[in-house]
Structure formats: structure tokens, C-alpha cells
């Protein structure tokens, strides 16, 4: 028994819309595959998701099938550029994905993880890189400590100078107090 007739309108809930897109996309790709196998048809299917991601199926070479289609309907040749551009972008995306994977693997190796796949040459190179990195860290640490020591020595010198200045002020104040007291005693004695 079927589900009945489904009203065709845009699904408002984004997560429901995504689930429906995924299910229907997979169904459409499956039907394209079945049509190519059962009927020996040359099938090419392109699907662009709402986010712009490309899904495709081709029973033969996609570019050849598109070229064949263009010849049949006599599309302007300028569309070849769009297909080539799409292929260039796809290749660039694949290259970037590979670069990201390589960098993630390198980061894991530098952290000492996932080393079982490395050979002796790779391990030696990793060890050399780590040694160089440790030396850079130590050098930076030494410079930072030297800068802090220099700063603290300047601060200590400034505090010592301020302390001497305050001690002189205190002695001067004591002398003034002593003079004021003795002057007061002299005045009392004369009275």
C-alpha cells in the first residue's frame, strides 16, 4: 500500500528538507544506475544541493555524455568552459582535501600519534624536525627568561633607588622633628 499523494511544495523545516533531499537524491541516483544497467542506456545525472555541493552519476564518461548531448541539441560552445571550470574546481577541491589530510597526518606525527605507518626514513626526518622545533622552543624560552631577568633587575634597581630616597627623606624628617622639638624646649626654657 502506497503513502498516498504527496503535496509538492517547499519543505519549510531545514532539517526535514535536508533529510528529504538526501533520501530523494539517493533514490534518483539509484534509478539512474538501474536505468543504465537494465536498458543499457547512457545516463548522466547532475544534482546540485541547496548548499552548492555536486552529486553526479554517469554510466560512461560524464564529459563525453555532455558533449554528445550538446551536439544533439546544438548548445553554444561557450558552455564547455563552464564544464571545464567545474572540473578544475573539483580537482582543486580534491587537491586541497589531500593537502588538509597530509597536514593533519603531519600534526598527528608531530604529536607522537599514528607513527606505525612511518618507515625509518620518515621517522628520522620526523625526529630531526622535532629536534629543530625543540631547539627553537628552548631558544625562545632562553630569550624570554633573559628579558624577564633584565626587566626584574631594572625594577630592583629602581626600587632600591626609591628606597634610598625614602630613607633620606625619613632621616631629614627626623632631623626636622628633632630640631623642632629642641627649639620648642629652648623657647620653654627661656620663658
Check residue 26 and give its pLDDT: 92
Share of the chain above pLDDT 70, in %: 87
The pLDDT tens digits of the residues spanning 130-185 come to 899 899 999 999 999 999 999 999 999 999 999 999 999 999 999 988 888 776 66
The pLDDT tens digits of the residues spanning 42-63 come to 999 999 988 888 889 998 888 8
Task: Answer whether 0.75 is exceeded by the pTM.
Answer: no
Check residue 164 and give its pLDDT: 95
Tell whether the model's pLDDT for residue 118 goes beyond 90: no
Check residue 114 and give its pLDDT: 80
Helices (H), the chain: 14-39, 62-73, 79-110, 120-190
Residues 162, 9: Cα–Cα separation, whole Å: 82
Please state the domain extents for the chain: 10-75
The three-state (H, E, C) secondary structure of 103-132, written as one string? HHHHHHHHCCCCCCCCCHHHHHHHHHHHHH
Select 10-75's CATH number: 3.40.50.1360, 2.40.37.10, 3.40.1810.10, 1.10.530.10: 3.40.1810.10
Tell whether the model's pLDDT for residue 77 goes beyond 80: no
Check residue 7 and give its pLDDT: 75
> What DSSP element (H or E) covers 58?
strand 54-58
Amino acid at each position: 500500500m502506497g503513502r498516498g499523494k504527496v503535496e509538492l511544495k517547499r519543505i519549510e523545516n531545514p532539517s526535514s528538507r535536508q533529510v528529504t533531499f538526501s533520501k530523494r537524491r539517493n533514490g534518483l541516483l539509484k534509478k539512474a544506475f538501474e536505468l543504465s544497467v537494465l536498458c543499457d542506456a547512457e545516463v548522466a545525472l547532475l544534482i546540485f544541493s541547496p548548499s552548492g555541493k555536486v552529486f553526479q552519476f554517469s554510466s560512461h564518461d560524464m564529459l563525453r555524455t555532455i558533449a554528445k548531448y550538446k551536439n544533439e541539441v546544438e548548445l553554444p560552445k561557450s558552455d564547455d568552459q563552464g564544464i571545464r571550470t567545474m572540473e578544475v574546481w573539483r580537482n582543486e577541491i580534491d587537491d586541497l582535501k589531500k593537502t588538509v589530510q597530509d597536514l593533519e597526518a603531519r600534526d598527528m606525527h608531530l604529536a607522537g600519534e599514528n607513527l606505525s605507518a612511518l618507515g625509518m626514513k620518515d621517522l628520522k626526518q620526523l625526529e630531526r624536525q622535532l629536534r629543530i622545533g625543540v631547539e627553537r622552543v628552548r631558544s625562545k624560552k632562553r630569550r624570554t627568561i633573559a628579558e624577564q631577568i633584565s626587566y626584574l633587575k631594572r625594577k630592583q634597581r629602581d626600587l632600591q633607588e626609591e628606597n634610598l630616597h625614602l630613607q633620606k627623606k625619613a632621616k631629614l624628617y627626623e632631623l626636622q622633628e628633632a630640631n623642632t622639638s629642641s627649639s620648642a624646649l629652648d623657647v620653654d626654657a627661656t620663658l
